[in-house]
Amino acid sequence: MRPVAFALVALLLAACSRVTEENYAKIRDGMTEQEVTGMLGKPTESSSISLAGMTGTGAKWLDGDAVITVQFVNGKVFSSSFKRSAAK
């Protein structure tokens, strides 16, 4: 019975991932950083820079083999990408 319970928990956790192509497709240029984090949750990695009155943030959400990367300029989406590692 234990292997079945473990498999069920693993399946449920995978189904709860927010790092999906479907969520990536919802990201639009000009969305606020708050809108994106509301959809994807807190980024796995993030770094920011401020220069001459402009701010830039790079954020990355990782889950298994899927990665969503978003670049924000002054708090709004400037560019984004989705990558999935090739199966081994």
Could you tell me the fold of the domain covering 18-84?
Beta-lactamase Inhibitory Protein; Chain:B, domain 1 (3.30.1450)
Q: How far apart are CA 2 and CA 12, in angstroms?
A: 15
Is residue 88 pLDDT above 60, yes or no? no
Is residue 24 pLDDT above 80, yes or no? yes
Each domain of the chain, given as residue ranges in start order, spans 18-84
User: Which amino acid is residue 12, in one-letter code?
Assistant: L
Helices within the chain (DSSP H only): 2-15, 21-25, 33-40
Determine contact, residues 56/49, Cβ cutoff 8 Å.
yes
Is residue 4 pLDDT above 60, yes or no? no
User: Burial code of 51-86, b = ≥16 C-beta within 10 A, e = fewer?
Assistant: eeeeeebbbebebeebbbbbebeeeebeebebeeee
- Quickly state the pLDDT bin for 55 (edges 50, 70, 90): very high
Phi, psi of 52 (to 5 degrees): 50, 45
Mean pLDDT of all residues in the chain? 87
